[in-house]
Amino acid sequence: MLEVKSVYKSYSKTGISFRRGRVPVLDDVSFQINTGEWAALVGESGSGKSTLSRLVLGLEKADSGSLLLEGKDAAVWMKENRGQMSVVFQDYITSANPAFKVKDIIHESWKTAGGNKSIHETVESLMRKVGLPLEIKNRYPHELSGGQLQRVCIARAISTSPRFLVLDEAVSSLDVPVQAQILQLLHQLKAELDLTCLFIAHDLQTVAYLCDQIIFLNDGKIVEQIETKYLANAQSAYAKRLLEAVIRFKV
């Protein structure tokens, strides 16, 4: 479904794009995600995860290399498959329009993508799907808890029946118990919906629960890509370090 080949990306230090003044962010990044697979992109803050997600979403261009979705350039695929790729960001507060009611937020992407079922039916069934009580549909974002608002954002993301979902730190800014609930919801959606997913996180435990494969990004480079079931056999120093931290924490 997604094929990333030798992608390089840099940003200019000063805002002026002289080559020598550029900071490399992604360095020869290659990986692929097969249809139906959930892949995690794990790395420390600043390792280039969100940059990579913006390239996948066609929001920015790579300096070189290619990002293909079903064999087509990501930006072209996005144009031809409106509503088929959705994204949920970490910052659920700014990603929902404060002047919109819950029902309008959920409806937003679906309307843009040209949905044709009645608004009522779609919003209510989506609210049920993400475990939101129907009585909050006329509330504004500031009248919701963090967990509820992130559920609203997830409902909006799946409203267009996307085939590809990007979750960029979608649970990171929630309280731990709420994180667990949202992860459970995502686990349930993974089983129910036909989705391919790029799940970005820095927490190994979270991704191991949800994803089929894990891609480790360290300082803009992919240091390992491994199926979750073989995680204990990870070879790279970076993956081992993260793994040890989890084990130490558990003991």
Ligand X SMILES: Nc1ncnc2c1ncn2[C@@H]1O[C@H](COP(=O)(O)OP(=O)(O)OP(=O)(O)O)[C@@H](O)[C@H]1O
Smallest CA-to-CA distance from 93 within 57, 27, 144, 163 is with 144
53 binds Mg ion (CB under 5 A): no
Half-sphere exposure at residue 114, Cβ-oriented, CA atoms within 13 angstroms: 4
Closest CB to ligand X among 49 and 129? 49
Closest CB to Mg ion among 78 and 167? 167
Contacting residues for 105 by C-beta, under 8 A, at least 6 apart: 96, 97, 141, 152, 153, 156
In the bound complex, what is the minimum distance in angstroms from residue 125's beta carbon to ligand X? 33
Q: Which does residue 11 touch among Mg ion, ligand X, none (CB within 5 to 8 A, set by kind)?
A: ligand X
Structure tokens given for 136: 């909050």
Q: Which does residue 43 touch among Mg ion, ligand X, none (CB within 5 to 8 A, set by kind)?
A: ligand X
In the bound complex, what is the minimum distance in angstroms from residue 172's beta carbon to Mg ion? 9
How far is Cα 41 from Cα 177, in angstroms, rounded to an integer? 23
- Strands 221-227, 213-218: pairing kind: antiparallel
How far is Cα 212 from Cα 209, in angstroms, rounded to an integer? 9
In the bound complex, what is the minimum distance in angstroms from residue 63's beta carbon to Mg ion? 19
In the bound complex, what is the minimum distance in angstroms from residue 242's beta carbon to Mg ion? 17
Which range, of 4-12, 43-51, 80-88, 121-129, touches Mg ion by CB under 5 A?
A: 43-51
How far is Cα 157 from Cα 164, in angstroms, rounded to an integer? 10
Closest CB to Mg ion among 106 and 197? 197
Site of interaction with ligand X (CB under 6 A): 11, 25, 43, 45-51, 202
Smallest CA-to-CA distance from 126 within 141, 145, 107 is with 107
Q: Which of 10, 47, 50, 109 binds Mg ion (CB under 5 A)?
A: 50
In the bound complex, what is the minimum distance in angstroms from residue 222's beta carbon to ligand X? 13
The contact set with Mg ion (CB under 5 A) reads 49-50
